[in-house]
Each structure stands twice: as C-alpha cells, then as structure tokens.
Chain A
Amino acid sequence: MIAELKMDQAMSEQQNDFGDGNVGLHYEESLLWEKEAGDHPGVDLPTPKGLKSRTGVAARGEIGLPQVSEPTVVRHFVRLSTWNYSIDSGFFPLGSCTMKHNPRLNEKVARFAGFGNIHPMQPESTIQGALRVMHELQGILGELTGLPGVCLSPAAGAHGELAGLMTIRRAHELKGNAHKTVILTPDSSHGTNPATAAMCGYTLRVIPTKETGRMTVEAFKEALGDGHDVAGMMVTNPNTCGLFESEILPIVDLLHKAGGYFYCDGANFNALVGTIRPADFGVDVMHINLHKTFSTPHGGGGPGSGPICVTEELAPYMPVPTVVKTKDGFHLETEDDRPTTLGRLKGFNGQFGMHVRALTYIMSHGADGLKQVSEDAVLNANYILSQLKGDYSVPFEGPCMHECLLTEKSLKENGVTTLDVAKTLVENGIHPMTVYFPLVVQGAMLIEPTETESKETLDRFIKVMKWIAAEAKAGRGSVLHENPKSTPRRRLDEVKAAREPKLRWKKSN
C-alpha cells in the first residue's frame, strides 16, 4: 500500500489530499453505520447460558445496529468532539444563556457513589444524604430569591416556567378564581413564555415595549384593562434587552391589586444573584436555571434544571416532590402530604445530579463570592457596551445589566448583517453572541460575557468587533459574507435540511 502511494505521482503533488479530508489536526469522520463491521462489539460480556425465554412474546429480529471495537468508538467520538466549540476552549458571549466556566469539582462530587449510584425509590432511611443536598439547595435558593417555597423537580427552564404558571393556575382554581385566564407578557419575552402560557391553557395579552425596551406603566395599564381576567404576568427581569425594568414596582402593584401574580423568568438571574432579591421587587414565582446562574454544564443542549421559588402564599400549590425536614429526618413530600399541590410534573426527583453540582458551586463561591459574581457580570457587560457603542447601533439607553444589546442598523447600509458579524466572530475563534433575539429590534446582537472572563478576553472580543464594523464601513463587507472559512464545515444549507428532512442514517442517504 505504501509503495503504491509512493509511486502515485499525482498524489505526491497534492501532498495533503488523500481523498479523506484529513489535514493537520483536522480529521474527517464517518458515521458509525459506515464503518466496517467488526467480529465482536466494543464490550466483553459473559456468555449467556441459553436459558429458555420467559418473555411470552416473539424474539427480536435483526436491529441493524453497527458493531465496532472500543478503539474505533473512542476515536470516533474524540474526533467528533474536536469539531465543537466549548466554553472550556474559548469566549462564549451568548446573550441570555450565561455560558460561564463549569468547574470540574462539580463533576467530581456528582460522581461520588453516594450521589451517582443511588435509586430514587430507595427507602428514605437509605437516602438521607441526598435529601439533605436537596433541602440545603432549597433553602439557599429560597434565601437568594426571597421566595421561601422551593421545588427542585422541573427539568429545565421551560419546564420551570410550566411548573410556575401551573402553580399560579392551581392557586386561582382553589381560590375560586377560575375566570382568570389571561397571562400578560411583553413582546420582548423569550419564546418559551408564550408557548408555556399556551400549554397551560391561558390566553396571552402582549405588553408592547418597542420604544424604550422597557415596560411602561401606561402600556401595562392598557394591557391589564380592568384586570378581572388576568391570572398573572410573565416577565424576565432584567429583560431580554439586558435592561432592568425601571417601572417594575408600580406595575407589580397594579397587577397585585387586580389579583394577578408576577411570574419572573429567571433566565437573567446572573445579574442579580447575591446582590438583588427578586421578592423585593414584587416577584411571586420565579424559576432558576441551574445550568446558567449556577454553572451546571450545558452539555451541548442539556440537561438543564429549572427549580421554582415561590412566595409562602403560593407554596401549598407548587409541584411535588419537595424535601421537608421532620423529627425523623428528611422526607420527600408527596401528594398525600400536601393535597393542595398541582401534582407531579416529572418522574422521580428532578435532575438531582444538577442539584449536587449547583450546591457545590454555591459552596465554592459562598455569600461573598456570589455577590461578586453578579457585580463582575454587570461590570463586564457595561465595559463591552462602553467600548462598542461608537461602532454599533445601541437601540436602548443603558446602563445595561449582565448583557448588552447592539443591532446591525449602522452596518446594514454597507450590506453587512448580524449574521455576517456572527460568522466572522466564528472565523476569529469567538462564539457568536445571541443573534436575532430579542425580536423587538431588527438584527439583534445580545452579548453576555459573564463574570468568568478576564479583561484581556473582553479586549480581544472588542478588538475583533471594532474591526468588523470598520470593514463594513470601508465597504469590504462582501468578504465577511464568506465566513467562516476555517471551521470543520462552512455555512450550512438549512433550507435544504428542512425541505428534504433526513433525520436518521439510512443506507440510501
């Protein structure tokens, strides 16, 4: 084989092209089903004894799974991993997503056998340590939010929203307020907010925020009407433009007088943690994204974890299970213990592994560190805003909180879009900010640096961003359309993916 290659003149002229795309540290990788099948799998299991089947149903035929050795599997996934950008490798200023450093200590602790290898339905006497973790986390989240009723079971942010709105729904129902069927939400809200309200069977009424990026008392009053049908309001605060709702107190006052509850989407809790207590600006229910504020890893799209915190008044209605301390030790409260609950929203006890990680993280920071977390997060975002406001359009006046919002407005006249900015950042080794969200401005760029970045990192980002704006101004925008060029794949055809869906491997693909 080697001799053959040496003989091949054409091949030697192309040096790096052996038809497989492998160059330097970049390796192409086929799918598992495209690899040569091995004689044995990548695990060694005992030989079955051949006992007679007692399943009572027909035996499974051929499934069509691939079969390869362990080294093949390990190399396959390690190569794939090198095609990913991650927070461990670089700056990730993704607005509203809080991509902060994920400490390895959290991973180590979650893997202690006494946490990782216990079953959710073991007798309570054998899981007191796990319940202690949950009880402590409940207490800490209660203190940080000022909302003492805490349920850890929601599996993610959107699931927490569902749990929170259903808590409100249950409270109204048991208090004889079934006619309250409307949820107010600003037009800048996350898509999950209206989707959750719809899932709860609620009707939406939108509060416009277009002019200032914030809710005003006037706009709120108009949406509220006489308020008799209003069950509650779903607002992210700081909002999705990175601004604190400056008129929140009078707004919440009106809402409460009308008998509605304030659901605060906790996506942006990183601006507040340890510094501001949400209960003190009127919040009745809030979900916390442990995978944002409390650094549990995003894992390429999950697992998340979205505990909810509620006022004492609403605590009887929140989902089960929750952990309570009794004279006999910690106890998982069920529907039998708390009949006013809306019920169970997830199997077992929630994303317990994430509870362990979040508690570990909170212990690492302590009360002093958490305060510094939110302050540095806000400082970093305002620093970026101060350095880029001359180069990009700023739709709403600051100061911002933990993220800042820019738009493509000033680039557009030179044919450069937010997408070009994003893809040029990619080309320069930086993960893009959140783009085209919130929807209230055109070509949004929402930048959240988080507290775990140094000034040096921020300065490099600012430098690249300034250069992009300058290129656009100089009329060299067309070059930016070509980006990214140095990534494992270039811009992908998303229209083709949607028009001809290929959602699994097949021989014919």
Chain B
Amino acid sequence: MRYLPQTKKNREEMLAAIGVKSVRELYRDVPQAAFIDGLAKIPMHKGELEIEHILSGYANENHAAGEGPFFLGAGCYNHHVPASVDYIIQRSEFLTAYTPYQPEIAQGTLTAVFEFQTFIAQLTGQDIANASMYDGATACVEAALMAMRITGRHKVAIGNELHPHYRDVMDSYMKNHPDVSITSGKPDGESACVVIQSPDFFGKPHAYEEWRKVCDETGAMLIVVINEIVSLGMLPAPSLADIVCGEAQSVGVAMSFGGPHIGFFACKEQFVRQMPGRLVGQTVDADGKRGFVLTLNTREQHIRREKATSNICTNQGLMALAFTVHMSLLGEGGFKTLAQLNHEKACELADAVSKVKGVAIENETFFNEFVVTLPVPADKAVEFMAEEGIIAGLPLDGNRLLMAATEVTSDEDIKILCWALGELNESGEV
C-alpha cells in the first residue's frame, strides 16, 4: 500500500464532493457480471524486503554471464557498460519522463535523442536516423515495408545469412500481405529490396560494392542490417546502402534476457517521409533560442491513422539514452579501440580453439564472432559445457557452434573453454 497516498478521510471527503456514497457507484456503467469477486492466484501485498528475498531467489536460478566463461553472441552481446551510463539513465528526469510531446519541458530528452540520431547517422554513413525502434528484428521488417512503399514492389530478397529471428519476424509480418513473397539470394527486377546482414549471422563481414551494383541494375533498394554495432568501429560504413538498420544493444545496454534492447533505423535523406518511427528535429523557440521538437509527425499514426507509415508509437527512449551516453564516453578513439579489442579477442579465441584436437574454424574472415565445428553435436556440447559453468555459444545444425568474444573475454576464460573442448574430444561422447 506504500504507493497509495490517499487517506481514508480524503477518500470520504472526495466521495462527498462528487456526491456519491461509494466508488462502486462510479462504476455504474459496468455490467455486474464483470466485477471480480476474488483473485485466487495473486497473493496480498508485500514489503520490499520480502520481494527482494523472493525475486533474488529467482535471479539466482539463472546463470549470469559474469559467473563464468561466456561465448554466446548471435545478435546480443556481452559488453562492459561504464558505471556512469546506468547512473545517468536512472536520473528521475530521464527515467520517469514521458514522450517529449511538450517540448518546453522536455528539452533534455529531445536534445539527447537528437544526439542519438547524429551518432547513428555517423556510424552507419547515412544522412539521417530516427529516434530508435523496438529492436533489430522489427527494424529490419520495417525497412522492408518501407522499401515496398517506395518502390511499389512486392518482393523482398534476403541476400545472405540473416539472423533467424529477424527472418522469422519478417515471415510473420509478411503473412499480413499475401501478395508479398520473400526470396533468397540476389534481387531481380521485381524486388523492392535486398537485405544484407554484416557481419552476417555466421560472423562474416561483407563489402557492399557488388550489392550496390546489383541494386542499381534491378531498381531494388539496398538494406544493410547490423546487429553488432561495435563492428562499425573497424568495418567500412555501409554508406552505399539506402537503409541501414539493426540492433545497438552492444553499446550501453545490458543483455537482460533479450530486452529491452535498441533497434536503430537510418537512411538517405530523400526517403525521410517514408520512414517509420519518431524523429527529433532542430528549430528555435519564441526567443530565437535553439531547441528541439518531435517533427515530421504527419507520417505517424496519431495524425494519419490508417494511412500512417507504420503503427509504431513508442521508441526505446531510455535505451537510446544509454547508447548515447556510452558513445559519448567512448568517442572517436574509444569506439575504434573497443572494436579492435573485440576483434583481437576473437582472433585469440579462434587461434586457441583451433589448436584443440577435432575442433576447426569455419570462417576465413570475421569480426568478433565465427562458426567452429566440434567433434560432437553442438547442442550436446553446449549442455555439457553449461554444467561446467561455461556458456559456450549457440548450437547451429549438427556439430556447428557459433561463438563470440568481446572485450570482456579474458585469457583465463579462453583457457577454461579449451580445456572443456578437449574433454569433449577425448571422451568422444557427451
């Protein structure tokens, strides 16, 4: 009851002022049958101490990344977050603010989003970016829908190894449009777009020149998906793309069992009016001072209703702030160093595991993630390693395992992993 400030006396006074005897009278339009007569499954209220005790018990049933060697990536990465990031995003003024519809008293959020848009545009080599999306997978399908709106075409080509969840989300959304088909490989003259992930789901970085050429020949739009945004500190900017979207969780945002993360969406300026999601723009106030507002909202659902570019209303505001604070701390030098550290850790991991008998690296090229083949089925190996306190990676088909390293990975982690991989090999079974 600690969250309820009304007193018994005040409730009575207020009822009298309204002119009713009980709150129940205010519910007079509600059918009798709909009133709840008891909630059997929900216990009575509890204090902080009791709740912390219960829920820390649940938390302790999980194996957290910090508890042992950790090599799982696959679109969600275990990076270090500087202490000041979480401090800033827990400031009441950011944490408990609403969407900045009243710009005079929301310049803090609006300015930070404007900086977020600038960071994303710079990193992706695009002209503009929006205020963020739910996550990488939904950003990816929104990009395909946008390409369909612009080109008036109804085919979507998936050019390379796209994250399976991104592909699943694409399939589900497109069920709403029976005239849309999803193809694999190069786009043709009927394709609205081709979707290229880099590094792809198996960790291989891609260059964009060839894809740009195919797109120019077919009239398809080039959509680049990035789900390890740290890679952009080392890999070339996808500036040849028409739309770049993906996941930015790696900078500033905890893994948190898959969410809240932070989808991003950037594109060329000419497409701005077809973009989904919120946008913050610069303007001036009545005194001529620089300020920021939500803008170009004639694209959005609250104005356009069924003719909107998307039904999206919410962005991932607080996560966008976390990203922006972490990017500000990293800066040009720190961001590039971080990317290099990730790559070097992955190189060391690759060298170490390929020395284990029966283990081979599939990738010739990678950023911080790659596929290895094991001497045993990967799903069984992952279970075995989990019992040893090692989160080894994501089992793919058969003996293939997807592994990632980040700046958090230690030499000791790699040593323990190689020992466990050796155990797999020697026993010949798991």
Contact = CB atoms under 8 A, between A and B. Distances in A.
B117 A199 contact: no
A488 interface: yes
Interface in B9-58: 10-11, 13-15, 17-20, 23, 25-31, 33-36, 38-46, 48, 51-52, 54-58
Contact of A501 (B44, B296, B306): B296
Interface string A246-276: 1011000000000000000000000000111
B104 A119 contact: no
Interface in A20-68: 21, 29, 31-33, 38, 40-43, 45-49, 51, 53-68
5 smallest beta-carbon distances between A and B, as pairs: A348-B258, A114-B59, A299-B318, A129-B61, A120-B258
A77 interface: yes
A127 B257 CA distance: 9
A267 B155 CA distance: 35
Interface residues of B, number: 206
Contact of B99 (A126, A298, A378): A298
B107 A80 contact: yes
Given A60-B236, A276-B35, A422-B102, A77 B95 contact: no
Interface in A72-94: 73-74, 76-78, 80-89, 92, 94
B255 A58 contact: no
A383 B321 CA distance: 37
B386 interface: yes
A426 B102 contact: yes
A375 B36 CA distance: 13
Most chain B CB atoms below 10 A, which of A62, A107, A302, A369: A302
Given A83-B111, A158-B313, A199-B176, A118 B104 contact: no
A81 B108 contact: yes
A386 B394 contact: no
B303 A198 contact: no
A394 interface: no
A128 interface: yes
Most chain A CB atoms below 10 A, which of B6, B56, B272: B6
Interface string B277-299: 01111111111010111011010
A126 B41 contact: no
Contact of A248 (B31, B171, B367): B31
Contacts of A197: 306
Contacts of A302: 99, 132, 260, 314-319
Contact of B247 (A140, A169, A347): A347
B82 A346 contact: no
8 contacts: A191-B308, A274-B39, A354-B259, A363-B51, A437-B302, A489-B289, A497-B283, A504-B121
A77 B112 contact: yes
Given A84-B97, A301-B99, A347-B136, A63 B42 contact: no
Interface string B327-363: 1111111111111110110011010000000000000
A505 B93 CA distance: 23
Given A304-B314, A362-B42, 18 more contacts: A54-B364, A55-B366, A56-B204, A62-B332, A81-B94, A85-B97, A121-B74, A166-B172, A191-B300, A276-B34, A276-B35, A347-B135, A363-B46, A364-B51, A370-B42, A455-B7, A490-B104, A492-B285
A140 B41 contact: yes
B48 A378 contact: no
A367 B138 CA distance: 35
B72 A119 contact: yes
B190 interface: no
A162 interface: yes
A484 to B, nearest CB: 5
B95 A86 contact: yes
Given A366-B46, A489-B291, A299 B112 contact: no
A451 B10 CA distance: 13
A84 B107 contact: yes
A412 interface: no
Contacts of A344: 137, 165, 168-169, 172
B107 to A, nearest CB: 4
B62 A119 contact: no
A316 to B, nearest CB: 15
A45 B131 CA distance: 29
Contacts of B205: 55-57
Interface stretch (B63-71, B215-223, B419-427): B63-71
B66 A113 contact: yes
Nearest to B392: A123
A300 B313 contact: no
A143 B272 CA distance: 44
Contacts of B132: 302
A66 B112 CA distance: 14
A73 B329 CA distance: 6
B234 A60 contact: yes
A476 interface: no
Contact of B282 (A201, A356, A502): A502
A472 interface: no
A6 interface: no
A116 interface: yes
Contact of B334 (A45, A133, A386): A45
B196 interface: no
Contacts of A55: 205, 234-235, 343, 365-367
B98 A300 contact: yes
A66 to B, nearest CB: 6
Given A66-B328, A505-B115, A353 B282 contact: no
A379 interface: yes
A92 B317 contact: no
B143 to A, nearest CB: 14
B45 A77 contact: no
A309 to B, nearest CB: 14
Contacts of B123: 63
Interface string A122-148: 110111111011000001100110000
A78 B88 contact: yes
B365 A451 contact: no
B193 interface: no
A191 B341 contact: no
Contact of B23 (A57, A62, A378): A378
Interface stretch (A11-19, A96-104, A223-231, A463-471): A96-104
A115 B115 CA distance: 29
A303 interface: yes
Contact of A369 (B4, B20, B365): B4
Contacts of A204: 306
A201 B46 contact: no
Contacts of A54: 343, 347, 350, 364-366
A84 B327 CA distance: 21
A382 B18 contact: yes
A42 B328 contact: yes
B37 to A, nearest CB: 9
A130 B302 contact: no
Contact of A383 (B17, B36, B306, B344): B17
A392 interface: no
Contacts of B92: 86, 88-89
B304 A112 contact: no
Contacts of B146: none
A300 B311 contact: no
Contacts of A58: 207, 236
Most chain A CB atoms below 10 A, which of B60, B129, B316: B316
Interface in A378-416: 378-380, 382-383, 385-387, 399-401
A452 B365 contact: no
Interface string B122-137: 1100011101101111
Contacts of B56: 109, 112, 114
Most chain B CB atoms below 10 A, which of A123, A143, A509: A123
B234 A493 contact: no
Contacts of A175: none
B10 to A, nearest CB: 4
A166 B260 contact: no
B325 interface: yes
